[in-house]
Copies of this chain bind each other. A is one copy, B any other.
Amino acid sequence: MTVELISVGTELLLGNIVNTNAAYLAERCAALGLSCYYQTVVGDNEKRLEEVVRLGLSRSDILILSGGLGPTKDDLTKEVTAKVFGRELIEDAHTRGRIEEYFHRVHSDQVTPNNWKQAMVPEGAKVVDNHNGTAPGLIMEEDGKTAILLPGPPNEIRPMFERDIAPYLDGLLPEGIYSKMVKICSIGESRAETMIADLMDAQTNPTIAPYAKTGEVHLRVTAKASGEEEAGELITPVIEELFRRFGDAIFTIEESVTLEEAVAGLLAEKGMTVTTAESCTAGLLAGRLMNAAGASNVYREGYITYSDEAKERLLGVSHETLMQYGAVSAQTAEEMARGAARAAGADAAVGVTGIAGPGGGTDEKPVGLVYVGCFVKGAVRTEEFHFTGNRAKNRESAVARALTLLREELLKIRD
Protein backbone atom coordinates (compact mmCIF):
# COMPACT_ATOMS: atom_id res chain seq x y z
CA MET A 1 0.00 0.00 0.00
CA THR A 2 1.45 3.37 -0.98
CA VAL A 3 1.30 6.69 0.80
CA GLU A 4 2.13 10.14 -0.52
CA LEU A 5 2.95 13.14 1.64
CA ILE A 6 1.68 16.57 0.64
CA SER A 7 2.91 19.46 2.75
CA VAL A 8 0.90 22.63 2.27
CA GLY A 9 2.43 26.00 3.07
CA THR A 10 4.03 28.97 1.38
CA GLU A 11 6.54 29.24 4.24
CA LEU A 12 8.00 25.89 3.08
CA LEU A 13 8.28 27.11 -0.52
CA LEU A 14 10.12 30.21 0.66
CA GLY A 15 12.50 28.18 2.81
CA ASN A 16 11.36 30.00 5.96
CA ILE A 17 11.06 26.68 7.74
CA VAL A 18 12.57 23.23 7.28
CA ASN A 19 10.06 20.48 6.49
CA THR A 20 10.51 18.40 9.62
CA ASN A 21 6.90 17.18 9.38
CA ALA A 22 7.71 15.35 6.15
CA ALA A 23 10.71 13.60 7.73
CA TYR A 24 8.62 12.65 10.76
CA LEU A 25 5.69 11.34 8.71
CA ALA A 26 8.02 9.54 6.27
CA GLU A 27 9.83 7.76 9.07
CA ARG A 28 6.60 6.77 10.81
CA CYS A 29 4.99 5.56 7.57
CA ALA A 30 8.10 3.52 6.68
CA ALA A 31 8.03 1.95 10.12
CA LEU A 32 4.37 1.04 9.58
CA GLY A 33 5.32 -0.68 6.33
CA LEU A 34 3.81 1.85 3.94
CA SER A 35 5.74 2.57 0.77
CA CYS A 36 6.19 6.26 0.13
CA TYR A 37 7.29 7.18 -3.39
CA TYR A 38 6.55 10.88 -3.47
CA GLN A 39 6.55 13.89 -1.18
CA THR A 40 5.28 17.20 -2.49
CA VAL A 41 5.33 20.71 -1.09
CA VAL A 42 2.79 23.14 -2.49
CA GLY A 43 1.71 26.60 -1.40
CA ASP A 44 -1.62 27.92 -0.16
CA ASN A 45 -2.97 28.19 -3.72
CA GLU A 46 -6.29 26.66 -4.72
CA LYS A 47 -5.49 25.68 -8.31
CA ARG A 48 -2.05 24.19 -7.64
CA LEU A 49 -3.17 22.43 -4.48
CA GLU A 50 -6.08 20.82 -6.36
CA GLU A 51 -3.72 19.69 -9.12
CA VAL A 52 -1.34 18.15 -6.56
CA VAL A 53 -4.18 16.34 -4.74
CA ARG A 54 -5.55 14.92 -8.01
CA LEU A 55 -2.09 13.76 -9.10
CA GLY A 56 -1.51 12.16 -5.70
CA LEU A 57 -4.80 10.27 -5.85
CA SER A 58 -3.93 9.01 -9.33
CA ARG A 59 -0.67 7.41 -8.20
CA SER A 60 -0.92 6.62 -4.49
CA ASP A 61 -3.42 4.81 -2.26
CA ILE A 62 -3.23 7.17 0.70
CA LEU A 63 -2.54 10.90 0.80
CA ILE A 64 -1.40 12.52 4.00
CA LEU A 65 -1.81 16.27 3.75
CA SER A 66 -0.33 18.46 6.46
CA GLY A 67 -0.91 22.15 7.03
CA GLY A 68 -3.48 24.60 5.75
CA LEU A 69 -6.25 23.61 8.19
CA GLY A 70 -6.14 26.80 10.21
CA PRO A 71 -8.75 29.55 10.55
CA THR A 72 -7.40 32.04 7.99
CA LYS A 73 -8.50 32.61 4.41
CA ASP A 74 -5.11 31.24 3.29
CA ASP A 75 -5.94 27.85 4.74
CA LEU A 76 -7.44 25.85 1.88
CA THR A 77 -6.45 22.22 2.35
CA LYS A 78 -9.85 21.05 3.62
CA GLU A 79 -11.85 23.03 1.07
CA VAL A 80 -9.76 21.81 -1.89
CA THR A 81 -9.62 18.17 -0.82
CA ALA A 82 -13.39 18.11 -0.15
CA LYS A 83 -13.96 19.52 -3.62
CA VAL A 84 -11.79 16.81 -5.22
CA PHE A 85 -13.74 14.16 -3.26
CA GLY A 86 -17.03 15.81 -4.25
CA ARG A 87 -18.10 16.51 -0.68
CA GLU A 88 -19.89 19.49 0.84
CA LEU A 89 -18.61 21.07 4.05
CA ILE A 90 -21.03 20.83 6.95
CA GLU A 91 -20.73 22.03 10.50
CA ASP A 92 -19.66 19.39 13.01
CA ALA A 93 -21.33 20.14 16.35
CA HIS A 94 -18.81 18.04 18.30
CA THR A 95 -15.87 19.99 16.86
CA ARG A 96 -17.66 23.31 17.41
CA GLY A 97 -18.03 22.40 21.07
CA ARG A 98 -14.36 21.46 21.34
CA ILE A 99 -13.22 24.73 19.76
CA GLU A 100 -15.39 26.70 22.19
CA GLU A 101 -14.03 24.75 25.14
CA TYR A 102 -10.42 25.10 23.88
CA PHE A 103 -10.73 28.86 23.65
CA HIS A 104 -12.17 29.16 27.11
CA ARG A 105 -9.37 27.01 28.49
CA VAL A 106 -6.32 28.36 26.64
CA HIS A 107 -7.16 31.91 25.74
CA SER A 108 -9.83 32.56 28.40
CA ASP A 109 -11.25 34.51 25.56
CA GLN A 110 -14.09 34.72 23.05
CA VAL A 111 -13.75 32.64 19.90
CA THR A 112 -13.03 34.97 16.97
CA PRO A 113 -15.53 34.32 14.14
CA ASN A 114 -12.92 32.95 11.70
CA ASN A 115 -12.27 30.07 14.11
CA TRP A 116 -15.69 28.56 13.39
CA LYS A 117 -14.35 27.71 9.95
CA GLN A 118 -12.48 24.92 11.69
CA ALA A 119 -15.75 23.28 12.75
CA MET A 120 -16.75 22.79 9.11
CA VAL A 121 -15.92 19.26 7.94
CA PRO A 122 -16.45 17.39 4.66
CA GLU A 123 -19.64 15.29 4.63
CA GLY A 124 -18.93 11.71 5.70
CA ALA A 125 -15.38 12.47 6.87
CA LYS A 126 -14.02 10.87 10.03
CA VAL A 127 -13.18 13.64 12.46
CA VAL A 128 -10.02 13.18 14.57
CA ASP A 129 -9.92 15.27 17.72
CA ASN A 130 -7.00 17.68 18.11
CA HIS A 131 -5.86 17.64 21.73
CA ASN A 132 -3.30 20.40 21.19
CA GLY A 133 -5.09 22.90 19.00
CA THR A 134 -8.38 23.77 17.32
CA ALA A 135 -8.19 22.25 13.80
CA PRO A 136 -9.33 18.62 13.87
CA GLY A 137 -7.76 15.94 11.69
CA LEU A 138 -9.97 14.58 8.91
CA ILE A 139 -10.08 11.26 7.06
CA MET A 140 -11.95 10.83 3.77
CA GLU A 141 -12.30 7.50 1.98
CA GLU A 142 -13.62 6.97 -1.54
CA ASP A 143 -13.10 4.25 -4.19
CA GLY A 144 -10.19 2.64 -2.35
CA LYS A 145 -8.39 5.96 -1.95
CA THR A 146 -7.87 7.74 1.36
CA ALA A 147 -7.00 11.34 2.19
CA ILE A 148 -5.81 12.14 5.69
CA LEU A 149 -5.71 15.83 6.58
CA LEU A 150 -3.57 16.84 9.53
CA PRO A 151 -2.72 20.20 11.15
CA GLY A 152 0.71 21.69 10.38
CA PRO A 153 2.21 22.61 13.79
CA PRO A 154 4.59 19.81 14.90
CA ASN A 155 3.18 19.84 18.43
CA GLU A 156 -0.30 19.12 17.01
CA ILE A 157 0.47 16.70 14.16
CA ARG A 158 2.78 14.39 16.10
CA PRO A 159 0.51 13.55 19.04
CA MET A 160 -2.45 13.21 16.64
CA PHE A 161 -0.50 10.85 14.40
CA GLU A 162 0.71 8.70 17.28
CA ARG A 163 -2.66 8.51 18.98
CA ASP A 164 -5.10 8.11 16.10
CA ILE A 165 -3.53 8.04 12.66
CA ALA A 166 -0.90 5.31 13.17
CA PRO A 167 -3.49 2.82 14.49
CA TYR A 168 -5.82 3.74 11.61
CA LEU A 169 -3.07 3.14 9.01
CA ASP A 170 -1.99 -0.07 10.67
CA GLY A 171 -5.53 -1.37 10.25
CA LEU A 172 -5.37 -0.80 6.48
CA LEU A 173 -2.22 -2.86 5.85
CA PRO A 174 -2.14 -6.42 4.58
CA GLU A 175 1.66 -6.79 4.17
CA GLY A 176 4.60 -5.29 6.01
CA ILE A 177 7.97 -3.79 5.22
CA TYR A 178 10.82 -4.48 7.61
CA SER A 179 14.33 -3.12 7.59
CA LYS A 180 17.63 -3.24 9.44
CA MET A 181 20.44 -0.71 9.24
CA VAL A 182 24.05 -1.90 9.07
CA LYS A 183 26.49 0.92 9.88
CA ILE A 184 30.11 0.76 8.78
CA CYS A 185 33.20 2.86 9.50
CA SER A 186 36.88 2.36 8.51
CA ILE A 187 35.83 1.70 4.87
CA GLY A 188 34.91 4.34 2.27
CA GLU A 189 31.66 4.41 0.28
CA SER A 190 33.09 3.31 -3.05
CA ARG A 191 35.08 0.44 -1.59
CA ALA A 192 32.13 -0.68 0.52
CA GLU A 193 29.93 -0.74 -2.52
CA THR A 194 32.48 -2.62 -4.59
CA MET A 195 32.62 -5.21 -1.81
CA ILE A 196 28.89 -5.91 -2.14
CA ALA A 197 28.37 -5.25 -5.86
CA ASP A 198 27.45 -8.90 -6.45
CA LEU A 199 24.86 -8.83 -3.66
CA MET A 200 23.33 -5.64 -5.00
CA ASP A 201 23.23 -7.03 -8.55
CA ALA A 202 21.38 -10.14 -7.43
CA GLN A 203 19.00 -8.49 -4.97
CA THR A 204 15.23 -8.67 -5.10
CA ASN A 205 13.91 -9.26 -1.58
CA PRO A 206 15.58 -8.16 0.66
CA THR A 207 17.27 -5.19 -0.96
CA ILE A 208 20.41 -3.36 0.20
CA ALA A 209 20.64 0.42 -0.14
CA PRO A 210 23.87 2.28 0.72
CA TYR A 211 23.93 5.75 2.32
CA ALA A 212 27.20 7.70 2.56
CA LYS A 213 27.78 9.78 5.70
CA THR A 214 30.95 11.63 6.72
CA GLY A 215 33.39 8.81 7.55
CA GLU A 216 30.61 6.21 7.58
CA VAL A 217 28.60 4.07 5.19
CA HIS A 218 25.12 2.89 6.16
CA LEU A 219 23.51 -0.09 4.44
CA ARG A 220 19.75 -0.44 4.79
CA VAL A 221 18.51 -4.00 4.33
CA THR A 222 14.79 -3.97 3.57
CA ALA A 223 12.45 -6.93 3.22
CA LYS A 224 8.80 -7.26 2.28
CA ALA A 225 7.18 -9.91 4.39
CA SER A 226 3.87 -11.00 5.88
CA GLY A 227 5.18 -10.65 9.44
CA GLU A 228 8.16 -10.14 11.72
CA GLU A 229 9.15 -13.79 11.64
CA GLU A 230 9.26 -14.08 7.85
CA ALA A 231 11.08 -10.73 7.69
CA GLY A 232 13.70 -12.05 10.11
CA GLU A 233 14.20 -15.15 7.97
CA LEU A 234 14.80 -12.96 4.93
CA ILE A 235 17.01 -10.32 6.57
CA THR A 236 19.17 -12.39 8.93
CA PRO A 237 21.17 -14.25 6.22
CA VAL A 238 21.94 -10.93 4.49
CA ILE A 239 23.18 -9.38 7.73
CA GLU A 240 25.33 -12.44 8.35
CA GLU A 241 26.83 -12.14 4.87
CA LEU A 242 27.56 -8.45 5.48
CA PHE A 243 29.34 -9.39 8.72
CA ARG A 244 31.44 -11.97 6.80
CA ARG A 245 32.49 -9.24 4.36
CA PHE A 246 32.87 -6.20 6.61
CA GLY A 247 33.63 -7.84 9.95
CA ASP A 248 34.67 -5.39 12.65
CA ALA A 249 34.09 -2.43 10.35
CA ILE A 250 30.40 -2.81 11.21
CA PHE A 251 29.97 -0.73 14.33
CA THR A 252 26.25 -1.32 14.85
CA ILE A 253 23.14 -2.88 13.35
CA GLU A 254 20.85 -0.66 15.41
CA GLU A 255 19.07 2.12 13.55
CA SER A 256 19.48 4.64 16.36
CA VAL A 257 23.08 3.94 17.44
CA THR A 258 25.69 6.51 16.36
CA LEU A 259 29.44 6.02 15.92
CA GLU A 260 30.13 8.05 19.07
CA GLU A 261 27.69 5.86 21.00
CA ALA A 262 29.39 2.72 19.68
CA VAL A 263 32.79 4.07 20.76
CA ALA A 264 31.48 5.17 24.17
CA GLY A 265 29.87 1.74 24.55
CA LEU A 266 33.14 -0.01 23.73
CA LEU A 267 34.98 2.07 26.32
CA ALA A 268 32.34 1.33 28.95
CA GLU A 269 32.44 -2.38 28.10
CA LYS A 270 36.20 -2.42 28.65
CA GLY A 271 35.96 -0.26 31.76
CA MET A 272 38.22 2.37 30.19
CA THR A 273 38.20 6.15 30.28
CA VAL A 274 39.23 8.42 27.43
CA THR A 275 40.36 12.00 27.03
CA THR A 276 40.92 14.29 24.07
CA ALA A 277 43.57 16.83 23.06
CA GLU A 278 42.46 18.94 20.14
CA SER A 279 44.06 21.60 18.05
CA CYS A 280 42.32 22.12 14.68
CA THR A 281 39.08 20.45 15.79
CA ALA A 282 39.11 22.61 18.94
CA GLY A 283 36.47 20.76 20.94
CA LEU A 284 34.39 19.19 18.18
CA LEU A 285 35.74 15.68 18.85
CA ALA A 286 34.90 15.89 22.56
CA GLY A 287 31.60 17.58 21.73
CA ARG A 288 30.62 14.76 19.37
CA LEU A 289 31.76 12.00 21.71
CA MET A 290 29.59 13.56 24.41
CA ASN A 291 26.53 13.42 22.16
CA ALA A 292 26.41 9.89 23.53
CA ALA A 293 24.34 10.39 26.65
CA GLY A 294 26.22 7.62 28.47
CA ALA A 295 29.66 9.01 27.67
CA SER A 296 29.89 10.81 31.00
CA ASN A 297 30.97 7.46 32.51
CA VAL A 298 34.01 7.21 30.24
CA TYR A 299 34.96 10.85 29.71
CA ARG A 300 35.92 13.26 32.50
CA GLU A 301 37.96 16.02 30.94
CA GLY A 302 39.61 17.18 27.74
CA TYR A 303 41.97 19.82 26.42
CA ILE A 304 41.75 22.29 23.61
CA THR A 305 45.32 23.30 22.85
CA TYR A 306 45.36 25.63 19.92
CA SER A 307 48.63 27.40 20.72
CA ASP A 308 52.04 25.69 20.92
CA GLU A 309 52.42 27.06 24.42
CA ALA A 310 49.20 25.32 25.53
CA LYS A 311 50.39 22.06 23.97
CA GLU A 312 53.54 22.27 26.06
CA ARG A 313 51.99 23.45 29.32
CA LEU A 314 48.77 21.41 29.40
CA LEU A 315 49.95 18.27 27.60
CA GLY A 316 53.71 18.27 28.07
CA VAL A 317 54.46 18.18 24.35
CA SER A 318 58.20 18.84 24.19
CA HIS A 319 59.46 22.14 22.91
CA GLU A 320 61.99 20.25 20.76
CA THR A 321 59.26 18.26 19.01
CA LEU A 322 57.34 21.42 18.20
CA MET A 323 60.52 23.10 16.92
CA GLN A 324 61.80 20.15 14.95
CA TYR A 325 58.60 18.72 13.43
CA GLY A 326 56.10 21.51 13.88
CA ALA A 327 52.69 21.61 15.59
CA VAL A 328 51.14 19.75 12.66
CA SER A 329 53.11 16.53 12.66
CA ALA A 330 52.79 12.87 13.59
CA GLN A 331 55.25 13.45 16.44
CA THR A 332 53.16 16.24 17.95
CA ALA A 333 49.93 14.23 17.56
CA GLU A 334 51.60 11.34 19.38
CA GLU A 335 52.86 13.52 22.23
CA MET A 336 49.47 15.24 22.50
CA ALA A 337 47.76 11.86 22.96
CA ARG A 338 50.34 10.59 25.45
CA GLY A 339 50.35 13.86 27.36
CA ALA A 340 46.55 14.09 27.54
CA ALA A 341 46.27 10.53 28.87
CA ARG A 342 48.86 11.35 31.51
CA ALA A 343 47.32 14.69 32.51
CA ALA A 344 43.79 13.30 32.75
CA GLY A 345 44.81 9.94 34.15
CA ALA A 346 42.81 8.32 31.35
CA ASP A 347 43.26 4.86 29.83
CA ALA A 348 42.94 6.17 26.29
CA ALA A 349 43.48 9.50 24.57
CA VAL A 350 43.10 10.98 21.12
CA GLY A 351 45.22 13.89 19.88
CA VAL A 352 44.24 15.81 16.76
CA THR A 353 46.37 18.43 15.05
CA GLY A 354 46.06 19.74 11.52
CA ILE A 355 45.42 22.60 9.15
CA ALA A 356 41.67 23.04 8.69
CA GLY A 357 42.03 26.04 6.37
CA PRO A 358 41.26 28.25 4.63
CA GLY A 359 44.65 29.79 5.54
CA GLY A 360 47.74 28.31 7.13
CA GLY A 361 48.68 25.81 4.43
CA THR A 362 52.09 25.47 2.81
CA ASP A 363 53.39 23.30 -0.05
CA GLU A 364 54.81 20.89 2.43
CA LYS A 365 51.85 20.99 4.80
CA PRO A 366 48.76 21.86 2.77
CA VAL A 367 45.28 22.74 4.02
CA GLY A 368 43.49 19.52 4.90
CA LEU A 369 46.54 17.79 6.38
CA VAL A 370 45.55 16.29 9.72
CA TYR A 371 47.39 13.96 12.11
CA VAL A 372 45.54 11.88 14.66
CA GLY A 373 47.38 10.16 17.50
CA CYS A 374 45.55 7.48 19.44
CA PHE A 375 46.92 6.32 22.78
CA VAL A 376 45.55 3.07 24.17
CA LYS A 377 47.22 1.22 27.04
CA GLY A 378 50.73 2.51 26.58
CA ALA A 379 50.97 2.45 22.78
CA VAL A 380 50.23 5.25 20.32
CA ARG A 381 49.14 4.80 16.72
CA THR A 382 49.29 7.89 14.53
CA GLU A 383 47.64 8.37 11.16
CA GLU A 384 48.00 11.07 8.53
CA PHE A 385 44.93 12.29 6.61
CA HIS A 386 44.48 14.58 3.65
CA PHE A 387 41.02 16.13 3.54
CA THR A 388 39.83 18.33 0.69
CA GLY A 389 36.78 20.07 2.05
CA ASN A 390 36.35 23.54 3.42
CA ARG A 391 37.27 24.38 7.01
CA ALA A 392 34.05 23.01 8.49
CA LYS A 393 34.12 19.80 6.46
CA ASN A 394 37.81 19.13 7.18
CA ARG A 395 37.16 19.46 10.89
CA GLU A 396 34.10 17.20 10.66
CA SER A 397 36.09 14.60 8.72
CA ALA A 398 38.93 14.76 11.25
CA VAL A 399 36.47 14.08 14.07
CA ALA A 400 34.95 11.09 12.24
CA ARG A 401 38.38 9.61 11.51
CA ALA A 402 39.56 10.18 15.07
CA LEU A 403 36.56 8.29 16.44
CA THR A 404 37.15 5.49 13.92
CA LEU A 405 40.84 5.24 14.85
CA LEU A 406 39.99 5.09 18.55
CA ARG A 407 37.45 2.36 17.84
CA GLU A 408 39.97 0.34 15.83
CA GLU A 409 42.54 0.52 18.61
CA LEU A 410 39.97 -0.41 21.26
CA LEU A 411 38.92 -3.45 19.21
CA LYS A 412 42.52 -4.70 19.21
CA ILE A 413 42.34 -5.17 22.98
CA ARG A 414 41.13 -8.71 23.33
CA ASP A 415 40.24 -9.27 26.95
Measured CB to CB, the residues of A under 8 A from B are 10-20, 22-30, 36-45, 48, 52, 55, 70-74, 102, 105-109, 111-115, 131-132, 153, 155, 159, 188-191, 193-194, 197, 200, 209-212, 220, 276, 278, 281-287, 289-291, 293, 296, 299-307, 309-310, 314, 344, 357-359, 368, 386-393, 395-396
Q: Out of B39, B40, B276, which one reaches A12, CB within 8 Å?
A: B39
- Minimum distance in angstroms from A108 CB to a CB of chain B: 7
Closest to A16 in B: B211
CA distance A304 to B10 in the complex (A): 39
Are A27 and B15 within 8 A (Cβ)?
A: yes
Measured CB to CB, the closest approach of chain B to A147, in angstroms, equals 18
Give the complex CA separation of A344 and B289 in angstroms. 24
Inside 8 A of A391's CB, which chain B residues have their CB? 291, 293
Q: Could you tell me if A40 and B37 are in contact, using CB atoms closer than 8 angstroms?
A: no
Min C-beta distance of A292 to chain B, whole Å: 9
B303 touches A303 (CB 8 A): yes
B306 touches A301 (CB 8 A): yes
The answer to whether residues A209 and B14 also contact, given A301-B314, A306-B296 and a CB cut-off of 8 A, is yes
Q: Is the interface of A mostly helix, strand, loop or mixed?
A: mixed
Does the CB pair B132–A390 fall under 8 Å? Answer: yes
Pick from B13, B131, B284: contact of A283, CB under 8 Å: B284
Given contacts A12-B39, A41-B22, A112-B191, contact A301 B291 (CB under 8 A): no
Q: Are A48 and B37 in contact (CB under 8 A)?
A: yes
Asked if B291 and A281 make an inter-chain contact with CB atoms under 8 angstroms apart, the answer reads: no
Chain B residues whose CB sits within 8 angstroms of the CB of A37 once the complex forms = 13, 42-43, 45, 48
Least Cβ distance of A185 to chain B in Å?
15
C-alpha gap A139/B363 in the complex (Å): 34
Q: Which of B72, B132, B211 is in CB contact (< 8 Å) with A11?
A: B211
Identify A287's interface contact among B17, B25, B283, CB under 8 A: B283
- For the complex, give the distance between the alpha carbons of A111 and B112 in Å: 66
Complex alpha-carbon distance, A387 and B107, angstroms: 8
For A307, list chain B residues within 8 Å (CB).
300-301
Nearest neighbor of A212 in chain B, beta-carbon distance: B70
Chain B residues, Cβ within 8 Å of A102 = 388
Given contacts A155-B393, A301-B307, contact A40 B43 (CB under 8 A): no
A15, A30, A43: residue with the most chain B Cβ atoms closer than 10 Å: A15
12 more CB-based (< 8 A) A-B contacts, given A132-B390, A155-B393: A38-B40, A40-B40, A44-B209, A72-B210, A74-B210, A106-B387, A107-B188, A114-B193, A115-B190, A282-B302, A290-B306, A300-B307
Please, could you name 22 A-B residue pairs with CB atoms under 8 Å apart, sorted by A?
Answer: A13-B26, A14-B26, A14-B209, A15-B24, A15-B27, A16-B220, A18-B20, A22-B41, A38-B52, A72-B210, A74-B210, A111-B190, A112-B193, A112-B194, A276-B283, A281-B287, A283-B290, A286-B304, A291-B391, A296-B306, A300-B307, A301-B314
Cβ–Cβ contact B301 & A283, under 8 A: no
- Contact of A25 with B15 in the complex, beta carbons under 8 Å: yes
Asked whether B12 lies within 8 Å of A27 as measured between CB atoms, the reply is no
**Closest residue of B by beta carbon distance from A73:** B200
Let me know if A190 and B108 touch, CB within 8 A.
no
A211 to B106 CA separation, bound complex (whole angstroms): 20
Contacts of A299 in B (CB 8 A): 282, 306
List residues of chain B with CB within 8 A of the CB of A212: 17, 70, 153
